[in-house]
């Protein structure tokens, strides 16, 4: 191939030596200028391939550069063809051409080629090879993007000691939450929980946290057994900025620490949903206070949900409710449910898991105290229609069949409950003994009669 004269030859030489990325290495001006300088078949093929590469037509570009490489055996064309192959997601060809470029040129430090190799190795799951190439790239281009990929590869290979300083450097630059999470993970993987807690605490105190990350942070403190650290941090954030979100986060920590009295004090200082204060009383087993609070909430809002909760808490406050008390509470709960259903129809609202809870509670009262077993079964069925896999509701159904004397259905329903759930729950164990015991004896008696 003859050399281009003057300025055109100089332009051609510049094209061959540049190391810019796939879509940025040629600008429109260069393409136009090069077209003006082209005076050979090879030049025209090069320019067509470059233009196709620039426009994202990777298949055409690949064909042009492969043809040029086959004709000239110049490594540079193998490199361009490798770029085009990656563009059209032909990783097999990209890998072969990249390796061929290194073999022919003797240059294993080419940034673009190494990026192609790293990408292909990563996609093929060849993590060790990807790490070696990424280490070369990171030395040449210590960017956050490359560093994060390399750090991720180190973590995949259980090398947190290598990933941690990279994540630390990127976090120090960006203070980005995603990078903070990766840094914490690297510390934990090295069993450096105290360092992880320290970094997390410093981040929260300096930069605060958005609602979702606040919840995640409390979870991290809990997992690392650092709730005392969390209390100190979220208390400072709350004192510094006593808003409802800050109060909620501080209360979450206090509840996790079972410091309910302190949480109650905060809850009373803000116009939270009354349900939050009720939950705090329930967590402490103070059903009498919860009942009183539910009554006040109903009087203020006229929301029948609180009327239903009042009935539930009234029952729970009794150590051993009598049949008369159960009848009275069931009547109140039934009236509250009727109001809830009317409200739902009026507002065209679908039934919720909370509705299912009330249906089951009411149904179980009617069944267990034999107030109206069949009606109770109807409400348990309503609860199961909303939440068909709720173990408590399946238990109520089985108990209803048992109370009706339908042993076959009682055993069938109860068999849906996993054995480990029965073992760990005293109420389920009690029902298991009665259902399987009594019904089992009846089944044996029937078999003897048939014999």
Query: Do residues 363 and 400 lie in contact, with contact meaning Cβ atoms separated by under 8 Å?
Result: yes
pLDDT computed for residue 441 by the predictor: 61
Give residue 338's pLDDT: 97
374 vs 436, higher pLDDT: 374
Most confident range (mean pLDDT) of 272-286, 288-302, 437-451 is 288-302
pLDDT at 310 over 90: yes
The packing angle between helices 111-123 and 75-87, to 10°, is 40
CA distance 330 to 321: 12
Q: Which residue spans of the chain are classified as CATH 1.25.40?
A: 1-125, 161-272
Match 């009330």 to its residue by tokens.
Answer: 358
Least confident segment among 169-178, 257-266, 320-329: 257-266
Among the residue ranges 272-276, 350-354, 376-380, the one predicted with the least confidence is 272-276
pLDDT of residue 281: 85
Which helix (H) or strand (E) is 112 found in, with range?
Answer: helix 111-123
Cα dihedral sign, 24-28-29-34: positive
Average pLDDT, whole number, for the chain? 85
The pLDDT score that the predictor gives to residue 88 is 86
Distance linking the first and last C-alpha atoms of the chain:
104
Q: What's the pLDDT score for residue 49? A: 65
Pick the residue with more confidence: 390 or 17?
A: 390
Give 79 or 48, the one with higher predicted confidence: 79
Q: Taking residues 188-200, report their average pLDDT.
A: 96
Mean pLDDT of 2-9: 36
pLDDT of residue 199 exceeding 80 = yes
**Residue 129: CB partners within 8 Å, gap ≥ 6?**
117, 121
Residue 430 confidence class, pLDDT cut points 50, 70, 90: very high
**Separation of CA 285 from chain center:** 32
Q: What is the pLDDT of residue 168?
A: 96
**Confidence grade of residue 263 (pLDDT, cut at 50, 70, 90):** confident
Higher pLDDT, 115 or 378: 378
Q: Residue 50 in contact with residue 31, Cβ under 8 Å?
A: yes
**Secondary structure letter of residue 369 according to DSSP:** T
**Residue 419: pLDDT over 50:** yes
The top-level CATH class assigned to 1-125 is mainly alpha
320 vs 67, more confident: 320
Q: Is the pTM of this model over 0.75?
A: no
Helices marked H in 141-273: 144-156, 160-174, 177-189, 193-207, 211-223, 227-240, 244-256, 260-267
pLDDT of residue 45: 65
pLDDT at 109: 86
- CATH 1.10.10 correct for 161-272: no
Percentage of residues in the chain having pLDDT higher than 90: 53
Residue scoring higher pLDDT (17 or 267): 267
Q: Helices marked H in 257-390 — which ranges?
A: 260-267, 274-283, 287-301, 304-317, 323-347, 353-368, 373-386
On whether the CB atoms of residues 87 and 58 are closer than 8 A, the answer is: yes
Which is more confidently placed, 285 or 3? 285
Residue 248's pLDDT band (cuts 50, 70, 90): confident
Cα–Cα distance measured from residue 162 to residue 185, given in angstroms and rounded to the nearest whole number: 13
Backbone angles phi, psi at 11, to 5 degrees: -65, -40
Which of 187-196, 262-271, 416-425 is the least confident region? Answer: 262-271
Asked whether the beta carbons of 267 and 251 are under 8 A apart, the reply is: yes
Q: Tell me the per-residue pLDDT of 332-372, one tens digit each, with 9 for 90 and over.
A: 999 999 999 999 999 999 999 999 999 999 999 999 999 99
Which pLDDT score, from 0 to 100, does residue 330 have? 96
Task: Give Cβ neighbours of residue 353 (< 8 Å, ≥ 6 apart).
Answer: 386, 387
Smallest CA-to-CA distance from 117 within 85, 151, 77, 162 is with 85
């Amino acid at each position: 191939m003859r050399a281009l004269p003057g300025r055109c030859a100089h332009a051609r030489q510049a094209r061959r030596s540049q190391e810019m990325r796939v879509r940025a290495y040629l600008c429109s001006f260069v393409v136009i200028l090069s077209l003006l300088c082209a005076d050979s078949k090879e030049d025209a093929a090069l320019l067509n391939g470059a233009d196709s590469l620039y426009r994202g037509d990777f298949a055409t570009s690949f064909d042009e550069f492969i043809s040029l490489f086959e004709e000239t055996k110049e490594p540079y064309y193998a490199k361009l063809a490798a770029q085009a192959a990656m563009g059209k997601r032909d990783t097999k060809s990209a890998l072969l051409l990249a390796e061929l470029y290194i073999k022919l040129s003797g240059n294993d430090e080419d940034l673009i080629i190494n990026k192609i190799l790293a990408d292909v190795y990563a996609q093929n799951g060849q993590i060790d090879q990807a790490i070696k190439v990424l280490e070369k790239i990171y030395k040449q281009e210590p960017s956050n993007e490359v560093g994060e990929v390399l750090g991720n590869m180190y973590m995949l290979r259980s090398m947190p000691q290598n990933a941690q300083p990279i994540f630390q450097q990127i976090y120090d630059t960006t203070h980005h939450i995603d990078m903070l999470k990766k840094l914490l993970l690297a510390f934990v993987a090295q069993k450096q929980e105290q360092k992880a807690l320290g970094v997390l605490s410093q981040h929260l105190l300096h930069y605060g946290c958005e609602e979702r990350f606040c919840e995640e942070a409390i979870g991290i403190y809990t997992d690392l057994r650092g709730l005392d650290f969390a209390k100190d941090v979220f208390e400072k954030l709350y004192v510094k900025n006593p808003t409802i979100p800050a109060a909620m986060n501080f209360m979450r920590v206090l509840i996790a620490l079972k410091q309910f009295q302190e949480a109650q004090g905060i809850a009373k200082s803000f116009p939270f949903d009354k349900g939050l204060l009720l939950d705090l009383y329930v967590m402490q087993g103070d059903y009498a206070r919860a009942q009183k609070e539910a009554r006040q909430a109903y009087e203020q809002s006229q929301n029948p949900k609180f009327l239903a909760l009042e009935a539930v808490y009234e029952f729970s406050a009794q150590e051993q409710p009598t049949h008369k008390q159960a009848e009275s509470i069931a009547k109140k709960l039934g009236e509250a449910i009727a109001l809830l259903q009317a409200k739902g129809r009026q507002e065209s609202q679908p039934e919720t898991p909370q509705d299912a809870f009330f249906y089951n509670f009411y149904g179980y009262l009617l069944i267990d105290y034999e107030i109206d077993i069949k009606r109770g079964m109807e409400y348990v069925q309503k609860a199961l229609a909303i939440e068909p896999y709720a173990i408590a509701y399946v238990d109520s159904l089985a108990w209803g069949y048992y109370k009706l004397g339908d042993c076959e259905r009682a055993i069938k329903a109860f068999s849906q409950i996993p054995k480990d759930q029965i073992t760990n729950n005293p109420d389920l164990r009690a029902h298991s003994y009665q259902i399987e015991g009594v019904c089992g004896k009846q089944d044996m008696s029937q078999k003897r009669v048939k014999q």
